[in-house]
Amino acid sequence: MAVPWYPTSWAALAAALALLLVTGCGGDEVPPPTAETSSTAPAPPSGATPGTPTGTVDPDAGGSAEQDIEAAVSVTNAYWQTHWSQLFTGGYNPPRIVGAYDGDTPGTPVCGAERLPDDNAVYCPDGDYIAWDMDLMRWGHARGDAWVYLVIAHEWGHAVQNRLDAGLVDLARELQADCLAGAVLFGAAQDGTLTFEEGDTEELADALTALADRTPWTDVSDHGDASQRVSYFSRGARSGVKSCLPNGVG
């Protein structure tokens, strides 16, 4: 994925993703990292604010994980900044970006009383911040750069959930976060702030599959199995943010 340097066909992207749903997606050759979690309790670490909402990063395909993460943060924030008032009441305020950590080290940030999980990514409601273990990001980025866009947009989805009335938050919070991620990434493509390159839709399906539970969703803490994650992401991609809300209309 990259910042745009050529126009993207939204219809072609949606069709490609729909095809993935039908054909399924392999990609279980590597053991997946642990699933993302979030916890609740006080004492946020300090962190920086998100980048400017312009979403303009070097359109150099094949950027480093760090460069793609920076682009993902910028593009995701720009989407919500641009569209919030069309979707929800009140103003938009972005979560803080604590950013990269190494869960193997004593310096790992905390969310409340708990250290952030190793090889994972988190939205911490108490500090209203997003952070990610760079081992997870590098591992995923090596599979495809779309990975980091998915992780950032998904965690940002949790930050959005934390800003919504309870009635707008799906009981299946993780799957709703996937839906919101789909809405943001494909919405950004429509906005012209993100360009999908060949293979990106497959990479997104691969990432959703690699990060999925082995069993279907039954509990609020579940992420859902691969087909559920791809299905919710695709719904958001096709039909936008409102389709991710309970009783939402696409």
- Segment interacting with Zn ion, rule: CB under 5 A, options 17-25, 53-61, 124-132, 168-176: 168-176
Smallest separation, CB 59 to Zn ion (Å)? 29
Judged by CB under 5 A, does residue 213 bind Zn ion? no
Distance CA 4, CA 7 (A): 7
Other CB atoms within 10 Å distance of the CB of residue 75: 30
131 backbone dihedrals φ, ψ, rounded to 5°: -150, 160
Nearer to Zn ion, 67 or 115 (CB): 115
Other Cβ atoms less than 10 A from the Cβ of 142: the count is 11
| Options 19-27, 61-69, 143-151, 176-184: segment touching Zn ion (CB under 5 A) | 176-184
Residue 174 as a binder of Zn ion (CB under 5 A): the answer is yes
Minimum CB separation from Zn ion for residue 60, in Å?
29
By CB under 5 A, the count of residues binding Zn ion is 3
**CA 45 remoteness from chain centre:** 21
- What DSSP character marks residue 223? -
Spacing of C-alpha 138 from chain mean position: 15
Query: Is residue 207 within the footprint of Zn ion (CB under 5 A)?
Result: no
Q: Which of 69, 97, 122, 177 binds Zn ion (CB under 5 A)?
A: 177
Tokens of 221: 């803490």
Which CB, 174 or 222, lies closer to Zn ion?
Answer: 174
Q: Which of 128, 124, 131 is nearest to 93 (CA)?
A: 128
Under 8 Å between Cβ of 27 and 206:
yes
Task: Identify the residue among 36, 133, 200, 206 touching Zn ion (CB under 5 A).
Answer: 36
Closer residue to Zn ion (CB): 13 or 181: 181
From the CB of 70, what's the least distance to Zn ion, in Å?
21
Which residues make up the interface to Zn ion (CB under 5 A)?
A: 36, 174, 177
